[in-house]
Chain A
Amino acid sequence: MANAEGQWKQVLMLERLLQANELIAERLRERLTDAGVLLINMLSSPGSGKTTLLEATVKALSDKLRVGAILGDVATERDYERLSAYGVPAVQIVTGGECHLEAAMVEQAMHRLPIENLSVVFIENVGNLVCPAEFRLGEHFRVTLLSVPEGEDKVLKYPHAFRTADAVLITKVDLLEHVRFNVELAEGYIHSLNPNARVVKLSALTGYGLDEWLSLLLEWHKDVLQRVEL
């Protein structure tokens, strides 16, 4: 077609905006499945206990699963230092202001992990319940943490991070007697968004719920190994 300013053309695209990210995520997931490595994407607000839970998980799992970690933060390498202290191969991605991780960053970071020696890699996403929900990182399973001091209405305010989670971990339950948090309501909200989400109540401090979390991880790892055989 033409108008006074010259030729112009309408082109139908119908392309998902995040398609490029999704393709990389898919490629990464296939690579890890082939290697028999379970990849978990952890989402939460800042300070909900991701790193503390990882420390507890590593301590408890060291004889069953070999753990690696990719840590996303806007600044600092603190989490990296905390996990390295446990002998966990870890890669820190400092996003320099970016509010979420994207699949390409994780794919790059993965080159720095000895995945042939690992059975599970945890991605600690940037502490934020909004944007990380939109970006698949190649994970086999997505876990969203909700710590009890945040209140159960976090699920109502930031539904996307919970809608897309395979499991929701209600953390810091040792604080339940000190804060207002209605566990039943929280579970109801989560299941309204996602009836299949597993909900695990946890305290990394006292160890409450840790066994349930660990058996979920072992179940997921088995699931990934079975995918290889198919």
Chain B
Amino acid sequence: MILPLHEFSLAMQLVKVVERKANEMGAKSIIRIKVRVGLATTIVPEFLSEAFNVAKLGTLAEDAELEIEVEPIKLSCWNCGNEFEAEGLFSKCCLCGSVGGKVVSGGEVIVEQVELKVG
């Protein structure tokens, strides 16, 4: 298997973030992690999943399941301000037809929730 480097370093970061939380809560292990990946980022959800399966080895997240919710891109049209769901960053505004807009959602990767084994 070829590991995409970019997602691998993000997967390592993800493990670090959830392990910190698990330690804070005195958890024995991490059961499930829920992450929201915006489509207006450079992260490919499938690659993040694959990378996570390697990055988690030997950590509190070793048996954790990663659930990725893909967040669509929402743009605010540069021209008329209309907010619209877009397929990509060069999509046309559905009202005025001009290309592109400010990313109002889908531009981030958020660690939403963890499920921890505590007892």
Contacts and interface: CB of A to CB of B under 8 A. Distances in A.
A10 B112 CA distance: 11
Interface of B: 5-6, 9-10, 13-14, 16-18, 21, 25, 27, 31, 35, 40-43, 78, 88-90, 99-100, 103, 108-119
A21 B109 CA distance: 13
Given A130-B42, A131-B6, A163-B89, A7 B117 contact: yes
A11 B113 contact: yes
The A contact surface, by secondary structure, is mixed
Interface in A12-39: 12-21
11 contacts: A8-B118, A11-B113, A12-B113, A13-B17, A13-B112, A15-B110, A16-B108, A20-B13, A98-B5, A131-B6, A134-B42
Contacts of B88: 159
Interface in A147-173: 156, 159-160, 163
Contacts, number: 102
Contacts of A5: 117
B113 A17 contact: no
A16 B42 contact: no
A11 B25 CA distance: 9
B78 A9 contact: no
Contacts of A133: 42
Contacts of B116: 8-11
B19 to A, nearest CB: 12
B10 A17 contact: yes
Interface stretch (A47-55, A77-85, A188-196, A218-226): A188-196
A100 interface: yes
B23 to A, nearest CB: 12
Given A17-B111, A159-B90, A9 B13 contact: no
A118 interface: no
